[in-house]
Homo-oligomer: A and B are copies of this chain.
C-alpha cells in the first residue's frame, strides 16, 4: 500500500471502480494495478504538468519511430529493465513448475521470424567484416529431465556484426547475414561458424537514447549471441549467451545478463575457418 498523502483520497478508487462488469478478470487486475502504481508515482513525486507532458511526448515519439524493423516502445522498456524483468518472472514461474532448465533472456527487438534454415557446419558470416574473429559454435539440445539428446530440434541464432548493427539495420550486410536456423542431428548436435560477438550500443537516436542520456548511462550491450531453441513437445527457450571477456557484463544497458549465461570462447586448433570455439548445450523442458 502507498504512503498516506494529502490529495483526494477517493480519486484512484473512483478511476479503478469505473471499470464495468464486462471487464475480464485479468484485465481488471492489470488495469487496477497499473492505475494504482501510476497514480502513486504521480502523487509521491508531485509530478508537474510539464513533467507529465514531457513523458507523453516521449511515448508519442517512440510510437512515431516504430515500424516493422524497429520497435522503439520495446527499447524504452528495455532500458528501464522491464523486458528483462518480465523474462525473469516468466522463467521463475516455469522453474517453479519444472526445476531448473537453461536460464532465459529477452528476445530483443532484432529477432526475425523468417530466418532461413541452414545446414550444420554452415558459416552464418556471409558478409565478413575485416575485423571478424571467427568462432566455431556447437553443442547439443538436451531433454532437461532425462538428459537425453533431442534429435531434429531447432536452434535459431542471431548476432550483430562488428560494427554493432544487425543485418536489417545495415544496408551493407546481405539479408539474413549472421542469422540461421539449424536442426540437431542424430546425436542431438548443432554446429556452425559465427563471429565472436562484440559489444554494441542500442540505437540511441530516439526516446530510449534520450532517457539513457538523461540518466547518465551508456547505451552499450555486452557481446552476446541470441538463441531460440524449440522442439515439438517442449517449451520454446529464448536466451542470450555472453562472452566472459566483455567489459559491459556488469552494466548491460538492457539488464539481460545472468551468471549462468556467461560463456567462454576457447582457442581452437587445426581449423582454418575459426581460431576460437564455443560449446553450449541447451536444456529444454517437456510440455506439462
A residues sitting closer than 8 Å to B (CB atoms) are: 6-8, 11-12, 14-15, 18-24, 27-31, 33-35, 37-49, 51-53, 56-57, 59-66, 71-74, 77, 80-90, 92-93, 107, 211, 214-217, 251, 255
Contacts and interface: CB of A to CB of B under 8 A. Distances in A.
Given A11-B255, A20-B216, A85-B11, A34 B80 contact: yes
14 contacts: A12-B81, A15-B255, A31-B80, A31-B215, A34-B80, A39-B82, A56-B74, A59-B62, A60-B71, A60-B73, A61-B63, A62-B63, A63-B64, A63-B65
A23 B214 contact: yes
B18 A251 contact: yes
Contacts of A47: 30, 86, 89
A211 B14 CA distance: 16
B45 A7 contact: no
Contacts of A64: 63-64, 66
Contacts of A83: 52
Contacts of A35: 80-81
Q: Say whether chain A's binding surface is mostly helix, strand, loop, or mixed.
A: helix
A259 to B, nearest CB: 11
Leading 8 A-B pairs by shortest Cβ distance: A63-B63, A20-B216, A15-B81, A22-B216, A37-B37, A60-B63, A60-B73, A56-B73
A238 to B, nearest CB: 9
A37 B45 CA distance: 12
Contacts of A33: 41, 44-45
A49 B81 contact: no
Given A62-B60, A80-B38, A51 B23 contact: no
Contacts of A62: 59-60, 63
Nearest to A36: B41
A51 B63 contact: no
A18 B217 contact: yes
Contacts of A48: 86, 89-90
A159 to B, nearest CB: 22
Nearest to A63: B63
B214 A27 contact: yes
Contacts of A30: 45, 47, 51
Given A31-B214, A39-B85, A60-B62, 15 more contacts: A7-B89, A8-B88, A11-B84, A15-B255, A18-B255, A20-B215, A20-B217, A30-B45, A37-B37, A37-B38, A42-B86, A47-B89, A48-B90, A49-B86, A49-B107
